[in-house]
Amino acid sequence: MSYFKKTTYSLAMSVVLIGCGAVETKPGKIEIENKNLEDSVVLSEKNIEFSPQGELSLPVVSESILSEAIVSTSNSTDVKNKAAEPSGVVVTGDDLVNLAPNSHVISLKVKSEKHPFYGVGDSKGFIVDGIEGSELVLKRGESYHFQVNSTPMHDVYISSDEMGWGAKVVEEGVEGNFTFDGVMTIIPNENTPDIVFYQCQNHKAMGARFFIVDQNDTRTLADLVAEHGALGVADSGRKKADVSSSEVKQKLSYASLVAMSKPAKRVRNSSNSEAKSLFESSQKKLGEARVLQKSGDNHGAMQLIDEALRNMSLASQMVPSESVKNEQEQRYHAAVKLLAQQEKSYKDASERLLSQGESVVEYNRDDVSVFKSGAKRHADEKRYAAATSDIQQADRVVTTALNDMLDSQTIKYELNLDTPRGEYEYEHNRYLGYAELVPVAIEEKEPSKGQMMLLNGFVDKSKAMNAKGEAMAEEGNFPDAIRLMQEATKQVRRALRMLGVKQ
């Protein structure tokens, strides 16, 4: 095994989480100095080639140092739009800044007359980048990332049906259908319909449409709207707010069935006064809707029925079944574990940066403490959904600081590779750098249970190898310790690749 003489390098920590957006790299200068070489090799911005996708092509320098390094960057775009604050969902301007190209934010607010489906379906609607019922043009072959900030009642999916409501799901080329708090990625291909709709699974007419065009198609959004007509206006020319008597009768029948369902019975028999009050309110609204329907006010009747259904849904969520309770409890404990991992990753990254003389990104620890206290109180009352929500808010505070720190800081290592210990320390630090990214990637990508099982297998193997390597290093067996560290790094990189992280 060969060892280099003293080698120093600084490499901008830059990892692109697929589907995340909002990752910006400051390449600056990457310098590698090796006393075994006649001259220092300096890679400046002048000899780093940017591809159209934003990847950096680096000249080959020393495979033993940068054999696997791929530095990627996303050109951030400041989006000035400010989203309105929907009822129950807070959307700040921070959600809409530093977005990468083809990245957007979908959030929720009460519809106004600006929404193409105002007066139809649910009273709330989706907004894209602060615009109600926004329509976009997506090109085939390109990736589009949508950060969804909604509620569990209004999860977003891509449909070929104008109304949505869970029908006609477009699965090919879409990752993250039925998301209410996460990232949905769309990569249109030749099989994607020319028009698709972003809609709600549980309610109709909350979103709008995306036009899908080929790469060489030069038509603008205005051209496509003129060609296909304004959304929300039927061919007959009737106003989109018109509601027929038969539609009201059908919806009333459905609401009556919901009122007699098992979840409704569970609410009536529960001791939850708030849930029972919501349910009673829904029944009053249904009675008022019947009166309005008989008087010919179909539009007013439909709005009351929608409100009644929302109240019944909220009430049933407050009194979940035993199986739902168990699932909510599991989600709560998983969220607590993930928050602990994020806090540890933040602590480790902060300590390393401070030891290198770098600055750290602080977060509001008082806010996190308040969220954690609220979560414990809710969990003690077995209100696990509310407890999970508090933990997730705390997690966002920590994760935001950790992401900002890893994305913007330059990680510097002073390595002495003229000894076995020096090379071991390099491999150990390299492993730790990748391992710190795993909880960040899990937070951003929200993998399925199956993916988590596979991921945990890789991570557990890497941890076991790391522990063995550390023990061997303590005994002075550096050659075997180095080999184990390299294998540990390989396992954790497999986990990251499975999550869609470019390295």
Q: Which two tokens stand for residue 96?
A: 């809409």
Contact status, residue 425 vs residue 417, Cβ threshold 8 Å: no
pLDDT one-digit tens code per residue, 175-208: 989 888 888 999 999 899 999 999 998 888 999 9
Q: Residue 186's pLDDT is what?
A: 95
Residues of 334-357 as b/e, b for ≥16 C-beta within 10 angstroms? ebbebbebbbebbeebbebbeeee
Q: Quick one: average pLDDT of 338-345?
A: 88
Contact status, residue 193 vs residue 187, Cβ threshold 8 Å: no
Q: Which of 187-201, 234-248, 292-306, 427-441 has the lowest mean pLDDT?
A: 234-248
Query: Who has greater pLDDT, 242 or 56?
Result: 242
Give me the sign of the Cα torsion angle 478, 483, 489, 492: negative
Fold of 93-228: Immunoglobulin-like (2.60.40)
Helix, strand or coil, per DSSP, at residue 1: coil
The residues, any chain, with a CB within 8 Å of residue 160's CB and separated by 6 or more, are 168, 170, 193, 195, 196, 197
Q: What is the mean pLDDT of the chain?
A: 75
Domain locations in the chain? 93-228, 245-318
| Nearest partner of 147 among 171, 174, 180, judged by Cα | 180
pLDDT one-digit tens code per residue, 121-153: 888 999 998 888 899 999 999 999 999 988 878
432: Cα separation from own chain's centroid: 24
Q: State how far the Cα of 283 lies from the Cα of 312, in Å rounded to an integer.
A: 9
Contact status, residue 497 vs residue 459, Cβ threshold 8 Å: no
The residues, any chain, with a CB within 8 Å of residue 331's CB and separated by 6 or more, are 384, 388
Which amino acid, 367? D
pLDDT higher than 90, residue 230: no
Q: Residue 462's pLDDT is what?
A: 92
Residue 392, H or E segment: helix 384-408
Residue keyed to tokens 């894209």: 128
151: Cα separation from own chain's centroid: 13
Q: Which two tokens stand for residue 283?
A: 């029944």
Q: Quick one: average pLDDT of 411-421?
A: 59
Q: State how far the Cα of 37 lies from the Cα of 34, in Å rounded to an integer.
A: 6
Tell me the DSSP string of 336-391: HHHHHHHHHHHHHHHHHHHHTT-------HHHHHHHHHHHHHHHHTT-HHHHHHHH
pLDDT one-digit tens code per residue, 459-488: 999 999 999 999 999 998 988 899 899 999
Q: State how far the Cα of 401 lies from the Cα of 364, in Å rounded to an integer.
A: 9
Contact status, residue 27 vs residue 83, Cβ threshold 8 Å: no
